[in-house]
Amino acid sequence: MSEFVLERVLEEISALQSGHFLLASGRHSDRYVEKFELLRRPKLVEAACAELIRRLPWRDIDIVAGPTTGGILLAYEVARQLGALAAYAERAEAGAAQRVFRRGTTFSEGARVLVVDDILTTGGSVRETLAALQGYPVVVLGVAMLVDRSTAPVELGVPLIALARLEIASWDAAECPLCRERLPLVKPGTSAPERAAS
């Protein structure tokens, strides 16, 4: 099998997009990685996860945990390939900045856990997943991401491995140059542009 290079794959499937985007973190950006262009292609997800696993410095992983939404698909596939269990960190309630493990999920004492997610911008969903794991007697080995698109170092308290590092600028809404140009603001996952800030 030829080498899997995520950046090249994202370009080939038109997952790297240009425009004026409202990110899940609340920040604005002129480029966006549409992760579902990748996540709807099981063979590419399988290859991406295999390459991510190849780069991991940890072995003997018992559980792979991922936050909703994309992290669930990746946690499942990484766990499948490792022969581990998968766990999913869901929002405690709609709009809450807290995650919980539900649906009968249990963690054995001393279980070695890897957290997996899709895109890192500010680290919000990963931090929430790590916070949810603090209530369990587990050892969190680290975090593995498909894409690190953060513009400043993100401190998670555990090691971070990323399959790709993309330099993509993002701004607070009040500082966004695209808003000043009155370019339509698009919230990915919706069909209608949002009204850009004045």
- Structure confidence by residue, pLDDT tens digits, 3-27: 688 989 999 999 999 999 998 778 8
- CA angle (143 as vertex; 78, 58 as ends), nearest 5: 70
Identify whether 143 is part of a domain: yes
Identify whether 1 is part of a domain: no
- What's the domain count of the chain? 1
pLDDT in tens, 88-144: 999 988 777 789 999 889 999 999 999 999 999 888 999 999 999 998 999 999 999
The 3-class SS string of the chain reads: CCCCCHHHHHHHCCCEEEEEEECCCCCEEEEEECHHHHHCCHHHHHHHHHHHHHHCCCCCCCEEEEECCHHHHHHHHHHHHHCCEEEEEEECCCCCCCEEECCCCCCCCCCEEEEEEEEECCCHHHHHHHHHHCCCCCEEEEEEEEEECCCCCCCCCCCEEEEEECCCCEECHHHCHHHHCCCCEECCCCCCEECCCC
Identify whether 181 is part of a domain: yes
Instruction: Give the pLDDT band of residue 1 (cuts 50, 70, 90).
Output: very low
Instruction: Give the pLDDT band of residue 193 (cuts 50, 70, 90).
Output: low
Domain that holds residue 138: 6-194
**pLDDT confidence of residue 69:** 85
**pLDDT confidence of residue 197:** 42
pLDDT in tens, 159-185: 999 999 998 888 999 999 999 999 999
Buried b (16+ CB within 10 A) or exposed e, 150-185: beeebebeeebbbbbebebebeeeeebebbeeebeb
The whole-model pTM stands at 0.85
Instruction: Give the pLDDT band of residue 194 (cuts 50, 70, 90).
Output: low
pLDDT in tens, 67-88: 988 899 999 999 999 999 999 9
**pLDDT confidence of residue 174:** 94
The yes-or-no verdict on residue 2 having pLDDT over 70 is: no
Identify whether 179 is part of a domain: yes
Among positive and negative, which fits the CA dihedral 75, 14, 191, 23? positive
**pLDDT confidence of residue 153:** 84
Q: What is the mean pLDDT of the chain?
A: 90
**pLDDT confidence of residue 191:** 52
> Which CATH number goes with the domain that contains 53?
3.40.50.2020
Identify whether 177 is part of a domain: yes
* 129 and 65 Cβ atoms separated by less than 8 Å: yes
